[in-house]
Structure 1
Amino acid sequence: MDESEEEKHCYLRMEEDPDFQIRFSSLCFITDHVGFHGTIKSSPNDFVVIEIDEQGQLVNQAIDEPIYKSSKVLPEPNNIAKKTKTGFQNLSFKEGSKEKVSTLVWYSDDDQNCQSGSEKEDTISDGISKDEEEKVYSLGSLLNENTNELLNQFACDIKEKWNSKSELSGPSPEFSVGRILDKKQRAVLHSAIRQKFPFLITVGKNTEIVVKPNLEYKELCHLVSEEEAFDFFKYLDAKKENSKFTFKPDGSKDHRKAVHHFVNKKFGNLVETKSFSEANYSAGNPNTVITVRFREKAHNHRKRSVECQERKVIYTAFTLRKENVEMFEAVGFLAVKLGVIPSDFSYAGVKDKKAITYQAMVVRKVTPERLKNIEKEIEKKRMSVFNIRSVDDSLRLGQLKGNHFDIVIRNLKNQINDSVNLRERILEAIESVKNKGFVNYYGPQRFGMGKRVHTDQIGLALLKNEVVKAVKLFLTPEDLDDPVNRAKKYFLQTEDAKGTLSLMPEFKVRERALLESLHRFGITEEGCIQAWFSFPHSMRIFYIHAYSSKVWNEAASYRLATYGSRVVEGDLVCLDEDGDDEHLPNSKVHLVTEEEESANTYAIHQVILPVLGYNIQYPKNKVGLWYQEVLSRDGLQTCRFRVPTLKLNVPGCYRKILKQPHNISYQLREEQDTDVKAEGSHKCETTLSLLISFDLDASCYATICLREIMKHDF
């Protein structure tokens, strides 16, 4: 087939959608058979997906291992999901001389046992050892008399200006304590100044210590008393492990919320806040206090690692069967029932919703017995769990060999104006794809096709740091009148997160998590950043991967339309035939030379294209230029594919243009379709259905394989 004929078979029907995205109808085919029409996914039973593990075994097969090994079973962690008690049951603290027992109301992220310390510490660069922290230093013993007097005068001047309500005009005033060569002495002096004058901050400039007004102290004084602000900043600077600070009782929910927002916004990487209802309050005066505590820090990682070794984390593996349930909804439901958070679940791949799917999963901090105890509740949600057993570690994305599919395609018909025998057409199509393969597009389910907002649009907004826009896109309703879409419509009209939360059904776990966070932090840029953190990392990065996948689909179609099946100069090819192309190192990626093109050194099945990220190379031909034009079109010319505010890094990868199905088997079956007419008569028609089974490599889509077989978009 020459290049011009190849282009004809690409079916480039460039239909422009309102969001200017190219839909599947515009994407190329690689084979030249005619195809046929039919209906897939008439019901979940018509589309069965079974994961194939790394050993090549179907995950729904029985496992001979015992449900759990008694020698490995550890004491059950106390993490039942009771929001008013988790982790702080019967917590007591002192305020003055009165001891109070409090009921906890969550106002921070869930704690995770033995997690690696990844939070940045808000510390003075010259740290103080624990022994030195416990000593009490007076500034008189650290500074000469003249410097000490000048520092006291500087502090008094700042306080007088603040107390007189006059603004500090011009640049912030500074006072230099001088140069201190000894690092340990500098650290002690930093702490001593801040402890005596919490309304001042100290900054290190090489060996010099400079003192400035603490504007955050002044801001806090607008919310709480100066006494409280004074004590809070002293507490903050002391950084004593396991210590807590408590603000005075406060009966105003709105005011408490403002204090929460201030502390979390300014010091959220250092401390967390929680609200406690006082146990001893007079009738009709239910005061609540806000308690602050330090987050676990990276410098405690070694200690926590030892603790983890002493008390090994529990991992329970199981096979999840679900029917017509979105995977993230399934994980959210299981998390609630087991008293863990969604990120405690790990899996090898995301599975379809409108299907019956079987996949391997691992949940941490849950014993096999506890999982078995909720089997009946799980079954009410069209799910089941089996092959439950203890394992030593979690799963990771991509940790599978592939998937097996059993599919029924109903109502088979010839293409329009095709008079050839339908059975012959079906046989021809299957054999064609079996031998030549299919274009390895990402499937429509990756983008939420058919919806007003697609996942790739949300991903593009996140890549551009448009977090508020991304939230609103996520909560954009469909043109349906049901509780979920009525709630979303209400949110876009009012931006009332609390009211929307009362309307959103319980089963919409992701939507509710986002709304709860928006209610807590507000619908500002900072609030929306916090809201995205209500999703596990795998969910946040899913949207960015969706955008990269959309661009890859377009790139593959453009590549085939431009060069056909020839391997040309500037193409990228995979040198590792047995490797996983999506985890291919750059050392195994080769740029085709002019001589190699002339010698036909490589075949089309070796050609790969980059999936966008910061660690990929582009083709050196028209396709490479096309990538740059698309990035420019989408406003990503300078994008580094890192979103620090959401802790997302996207290195990118490579993906083969073509893939082939394995172990294909099929059967044609005649079925009687009864048509009931208006007058009550019955007309029976014989229709043809195709039962087809095959295996696909990891990250390949059955709907795309069927699209190539049938030459029909779904």
Structure 2
Amino acid sequence: MLQACGVEKFHVPVERVAVARLKDCPEDFIVAEVDPAGEATDAQTYKLPIPRTPTNSCGEVGSVQTVLSTATELNRGQCGGSAGDSEKHINVALPMDDSLNESLLETLLEVFGSKREAVAQYSSCAAARNLLFPTKEHDIGVFNERAEREQLHRAMKVSVPHLRSETRRHREATAGPVNIALDGDSAHICRDGDGGAIDYHIIVSYDCEFLLLSHLLGESVADALVAWNASVPQGPPLHLTAKFPVTASKEVRRSFHEVMSKRYPRITCRVSNGQVVIRGSSSGFGKRQRVDGNRETVGFTHLLIRKRNLDIMELRMLLAEHFCVPIDAVCTAGMKDKCAVTYQRCSVPCTRQLRHPREEESGIDGDVPLRLTWTDDLSSYVEILQTSGPHSAPVGIGELKGNMFHIRLRDVRGITPSELMQRSCRLEKEGFLNYFGQQRFSEHAECFMDHIGVHILGGRWPEAVRCLLRGAPELYDLFPTHMEPRYVPARLRDARCIVQALNRLHRTRYTTLTRADVTECTQLWRDVCRDALQAVPYAFRVLWLCGAQSLIFNRLLSMLHGPQLPVTLPLLGYNVSVEGGVRSAVDKVLMELNLGTVDEFAQRKKVLGVGMPGALRATVVRPVGCSVSFTTVEGGSSDVFDATLSFFLPSSSYATIFLREVLGCDTWW
């Protein structure tokens, strides 16, 4: 499978191939980032640098500690539960409005009953699988002034959220001359015999969407959503947890997510294993930006974190949700392995919107770090160990000296401990080929020509979509009828993302799309695929296109490996010139990938909105400070042993490639 990533050659060939188990648990693969000053971030004495230029805004913001304290309180379960036990979690005081006088409220209570009664009635119908929830309407009067109607609608949403109001126009026949009724900028003309003056009636009925949320999450959580939504954009960040009925059908879950996305577009919601995590920011999770231009930014908070069993996107999502910033505003110095325990630095923008009045409180209590847990797996989490800020700049990509690795190989077979020691020492002297490792690519890759980023670079949009769905290949053949995220396994995050984008486009802009368009790959289907790929979050597109650049480099390195191997090879981009004997090899690689010529490639400054700069990358890298310790396997044979390797690699070098050369085997770890 490594050949599908362009990894083919060995820099130091070996006579005997060894095998071993790696990453049985994340603790077998420990990575500690080494900062630009050369300090390892896992050291007990390590401290994040303090800001070089203190600013007056630091005291105003109260650092990120106040944000941590706010979220910590919410994490303790202030909100959550189901309809039966929600009241013991939170009591939400919904604001009243003068437009709803006591007489009107009494009338609505008499006609529709209380909110609790309506929720109980809805839950009874749901339990009996009776989809025909009783509906009734009540006309509360005529309101011909637009401002008056708008005020009443707003008051209804907050004061009686289990009810909904709508405006209906009614004509009253008259025998007089022509009547003109003004509605904002438009005028309605009613002639004799055709109608009369227009009256605007407010009609009230049950809000079944609110009742659905109350039934599934609990009345208190539904109230909290209404109250928070009414406070936007001045309100604080939102964090709610609740139990979701495990017996809910797919249709119920689908309806729930549709209601949440329609009513609360500024809220993100994840459901897993009967647990709902709801987070919201009045600033929203907007499009890509290091700093949200709609908020007054006062710097960046740098974080020292320890993550366990999370990839880079999951890390960003957790931090973005916690600090209520866009996902792309979470910056890291580099990507780290998923099945590992890693120590690294991150940054998030701190804004005035994230202030909290109790600035003296701390989100990190003594030696106990704040832990953010991934919903699907409680053993996957990120811990915030330190904070520092505000800094004038975020943590930049590549802003590290390298990484220190402590890796345990289990059940090493095929070589002796002394041979393993000799190979490690030899590689420390001679180095190994600086391939991009398997983590850079999709684990479903079977051929070096079938990569998402390669298809995107070639403008082959349907092929890129099919490639993204490689984990669920039958789904593509069922488009557009099954073009919905609920048909995609939850573990296939990239696939769910593209299907969600396709579904949105199909419902809004490309409603005429048919199965024949997909089968015959018509221009309409190609346009849909292109626009869907463009609509995927920027962070995903960057990973795909960086993977394509990495594949080209790996293929080039395999092709040119030998005595005349250059010291560096290009990562192709618009700012890199390719000259001499390397140019013909690059042309050959681009030709086999159907990506045109070097000159054509260099003209692409952006692809799907992602910049395509290039760089020069070393072809051979040497580990530093290699050490090996051995452990005898209990109950095992004498020729089987465990080994722990510790070594330092410069940034952008892969430990799995080093282990490949040590063992002499092509294993997909």
Indicate the TM-score class for this superposition, using the shorter chain for normalisation. 0.5 to 0.7
How many Å separate the matches in 2 of 1:473 and 1:618?
A: 30
1:201-260: CA deviations, max 9, x gaps?
xxxxxxxxxxxxxxxxxxxxxxxxxx99999xxxxxxxxxxxxxxxxx9xxxxxxxxxxx
The one-letter amino acid paired with 1:558 is M
- For 1:661, which of 603, 623, 632 is the aligned residue? 623
Structure 2 residue matching 1:23: 3-state secondary structure = helix
Instruction: Give the CA deviation at 1:550.
Output: 1.1
Name the CA shift for 1:513/1:433 in 2 (closer, same or farther; >3 Å): same
Q: Contact (CA 8 Å) 1:517, 1:534: kept in 2 or not?
A: yes
Name the CA shift for 1:370/1:490 in 2 (closer, same or farther; >3 Å): farther
Structure 1 residue matching 2:640: 3-state secondary structure = strand
The one-letter amino acid paired with 2:419 is R
Q: Contact (CA 8 Å) 1:609, 1:619: kept in 2 or not?
A: no
Aligned match of 1:521: 505
Structure 2 residue matching 1:695: 3-state secondary structure = strand
How many Å separate the matches in 2 of 1:44 and 1:405?
A: 13
Structure 2 residue matching 1:99: 3-state secondary structure = helix
How many Å separate the matches in 2 of 1:491 and 1:339?
A: 35
Q: Contact (CA 8 Å) 1:533, 1:646: kept in 2 or not?
A: yes
Aligned match of 2:563: 565
**1:318 and 2:303 are equivalent in the alignment:** yes
Of 426-435 and 459-468, more deviation after overlay is shown by 459-468
The one-letter amino acid paired with 1:517 is A
1:525-553: CA deviations, max 9, x gaps?
55545544554434312211211211211
Aligned match of 1:612: 572
How many Å separate the matches in 1 of 2:334 and 2:411?
A: 31
Structure 2 residue matching 1:41: 3-state secondary structure = coil
Aligned match of 2:457: 463
Q: Contact (CA 8 Å) 2:445, 2:451: kept in 1 or not?
A: no
Name the CA shift for 1:466/1:372 in 2 (closer, same or farther; >3 Å): farther
**1:439 and 2:433 are equivalent in the alignment:** yes
How many residues in Structure 1 have an aligned counterpart in Structure 2? 436
Structure 1 residue matching 2:503: 3-state secondary structure = helix
Structure 2 residue matching 1:317: 3-state secondary structure = strand
How many Å separate the matches in 1 of 2:453 and 2:535?
A: 16
How many Å separate the matches in 2 of 1:698 and 1:386?
A: 22
Aligned ranges for residues 626-641 of structure 1 at < 5 Å?
A: 626-637=585-596, 638-640=600-602
Q: Contact (CA 8 Å) 2:469, 2:495: kept in 1 or not?
A: yes
Q: Contact (CA 8 Å) 1:663, 1:695: kept in 2 or not?
A: yes
Q: Contact (CA 8 Å) 1:673, 1:685: kept in 2 or not?
A: no
Aligned match of 1:339: 324
Aligned match of 2:11: 30
How many Å separate the matches in 2 of 1:65 and 1:651?
A: 30
Name the CA shift for 1:466/1:56 in 2 (closer, same or farther; >3 Å): same
Instruction: Give the CA deviation at 1:625.
Output: 1.2
Instruction: Give the CA deviation at 1:672.
Output: 1.0
Q: Contact (CA 8 Å) 2:371, 2:381: kept in 1 or not?
A: no
Name the CA shift for 1:36/1:477 in 2 (closer, same or farther; >3 Å): closer
Aligned match of 2:608: 646
- For 1:423, which of 414, 417, 421 is the aligned residue? 417
Q: Contact (CA 8 Å) 2:574, 2:612: kept in 1 or not?
A: yes
How many Å separate the matches in 1 of 2:603 and 2:49?
A: 45
Structure 1 residue matching 2:630: 3-state secondary structure = strand
Name the CA shift for 1:618/1:371 in 2 (closer, same or farther; >3 Å): farther
Instruction: Give the CA deviation at 1:522.
Output: 2.4
Task: Quote the sequence identity (%).
Answer: 23
**Structure 1 segments unaligned to the other structure (5+ residues):** 1-16, 83-88, 106-226, 232-248, 250-274, 277-285, 292-300, 416-421, 479-487, 568-603, 675-683
How many Å separate the matches in 1 of 2:483 and 2:660?
A: 44
Q: Contact (CA 8 Å) 1:446, 1:546: kept in 2 or not?
A: yes
How many Å separate the matches in 2 of 1:35 and 1:228?
A: 84
Q: Contact (CA 8 Å) 2:304, 2:345: kept in 1 or not?
A: yes
**1:695 and 2:655 are equivalent in the alignment:** no
1:467-524: CA deviations, max 9, x gaps?
343233223325xxxxxxxxx754652335774247654x766555444433332286
Name the CA shift for 1:35/1:386 in 2 (closer, same or farther; >3 Å): farther
Aligned match of 1:48: 30
**1:99 and 2:150 are equivalent in the alignment:** yes
**1:542 and 2:495 are equivalent in the alignment:** no
Name the CA shift for 1:413/1:546 in 2 (closer, same or farther; >3 Å): same
Q: Contact (CA 8 Å) 1:348, 1:360: kept in 2 or not?
A: yes
Name the CA shift for 1:664/1:352 in 2 (closer, same or farther; >3 Å): same
Name the CA shift for 1:341/1:498 in 2 (closer, same or farther; >3 Å): farther
The one-letter amino acid paired with 1:360 is R
The one-letter amino acid paired with 2:370 is E
The one-letter amino acid paired with 1:60 is D
1:58-92: CA deviations, max 9, x gaps?
2233545799999714458999999xxxxxx99x9
Q: Contact (CA 8 Å) 2:431, 2:623: kept in 1 or not?
A: yes
TM-score norm. by structure 1 comes to 0.52
1:368-389: CA deviations, max 9, x gaps?
9797599344383333221123
Q: Contact (CA 8 Å) 2:36, 2:401: kept in 1 or not?
A: yes
How many Å separate the matches in 1 of 2:28 and 2:449?
A: 26
How many Å separate the matches in 2 of 1:66 and 1:477?
A: 43
Aligned ranges for residues 239-258 of structure 1 at < 5 Å?
A: none
The one-letter amino acid paired with 1:401 is K
Name the CA shift for 1:427/1:397 in 2 (closer, same or farther; >3 Å): same
Aligned match of 1:385: 384
The one-letter amino acid paired with 2:35 is D
How many Å separate the matches in 2 of 1:490 and 1:400?
A: 41
Q: Contact (CA 8 Å) 2:6, 2:555: kept in 1 or not?
A: no
Aligned match of 1:394: 394
How many Å separate the matches in 2 of 1:437 and 1:230?
A: 77
The one-letter amino acid paired with 2:570 is P
Instruction: Give the CA deviation at 1:620.
Output: 1.4
1:424-466: CA deviations, max 9, x gaps?
3223211210110111111111112454588971101211233
Aligned ranges for residues 587-602 of structure 1 at < 5 Å?
A: none
- What RMSD, in angstroms, separates the aligned Cα atoms of the two structures? 4.7
Q: Contact (CA 8 Å) 2:31, 2:404: kept in 1 or not?
A: yes
Of 436-445 and 511-520, more deviation after overlay is shown by 511-520
The one-letter amino acid paired with 2:643 is L
Q: Contact (CA 8 Å) 2:494, 2:540: kept in 1 or not?
A: no
